[in-house]
Amino acid sequence: MHLTICWLYPTSMNIYGDRGNVLALERRAQWRGIDVTTIGAGIGEPLPEDVDLFFIGGGQDGEQVAVAHDLQGAKSEAIRRAVDDGAVLLAICGGYQLLGHEYRPHDAAPLPGIGLVDLVTVAGPERFIGNVVVESEFGTLVGFENHSGLTTLGPGVKPLGTVSVGRGNNGIDGFEGVRHRNVVGCYLHGSLLPKNPVLADWLITKALERRYGAVTLAPLDDAFEHEAHASATARAVATR
Ligand code: GLN
């Protein structure tokens, strides 16, 4: 099988090591004998055709201004069409904020989002920084957050999960992230996927199933991944 990953804005939207998510997706597919092609699509660059999985990482407000405007129009439409057709998308923090209708930063005019998910983000007075533990359909997810944006999901929009440690979407409703079709958006840096292998494999499986039908990934020896997950979760709980 073959997996095509489109890494959106690999240089602009890649803070706190979010590139580790792309490495984890590539390796966990390759370790199962799946061929992977990863294509970067930066500002002014076209989106590749026939993408199975989109990834966009986090970014500072300044980077998000240029990215938000570059996404408007044809790129947003192409991503929405692919997701409606079952393509997978993982968006972290600043990338997650741009999935919605709008992101209103502190020191810039409101930024238009892709309009993929019914959510809005507004920069708040406090920067949420710290470890995060989330209870989700993928089990316990662990990472860390560093954002001032406060994200509110529209009525009926499904969160990724509920926060057991940390602040999450807005520090008020107890939700973290968003789930929409085969889309996962969240504030979890870490990077997220190396220490949350269940989610990594779900993303790979869904991306392959759109092209090949039912897919069952061979199990991997995830001893290191589980140890990293347990260690990060224990640290998060101990320091909350
Ligand atoms: N600039 C956005 C915020 O501060 C996103 C930050 C990030 O991607 N870590 O909320």
Tens of pLDDT along 86-95?
999 999 999 9
Q: Choosing from 147, 180, 189, 229, which is the catalytic residue? A: 189
R_g of the chain, CA atoms, integer Å: 17
93 is catalytic: yes
pLDDT at 5: 98
- pLDDT at residue 2 is higher than 90: yes
pLDDT at 92: 98
Tens of pLDDT along 108-147?
899 999 999 999 999 999 999 999 999 999 999 999 999 9
Ligand 1 centroid to Cα of residue 148, in Å, is 6
Number of domains in the chain: 1
- pLDDT at residue 107 is higher than 90: no
Residue in the block written with tokens 């989610």: 199
Q: Cβ of 118: how many Cβ atoms within 10 Å?
A: 16
- 120: domain range? 2-238
**What are the pocket residues of ligand 1 if the criterion is a CB atom closer than 6 Å to any ligand atom?**
15, 58-61, 64, 93-94, 97, 146-149
- What's the average model confidence in pLDDT over 46-57? 97
Ligand 1 centroid to Cα of residue 114, in Å, is 16
- pLDDT at residue 206 is higher than 90: yes
Q: Choosing from 93, 180, 186, 229, which is the catalytic residue? A: 93
Residue 161's CATH number: 3.40.50.880
CB 68 within 8 A of CB 95: no
Ligand 1 centroid to Cα of residue 151, in Å, is 11
Mean pLDDT of the chain: 97
Query: Higher confidence at residue 240 or residue 131?
Result: 131
189 is catalytic: yes
Which atom of ligand 1 is closest in space to residue 16's alpha carbon?
A: 9
For residues 161 and 91, give the distance between their C-alpha atoms in angstroms, rounded to a whole number.
Answer: 15
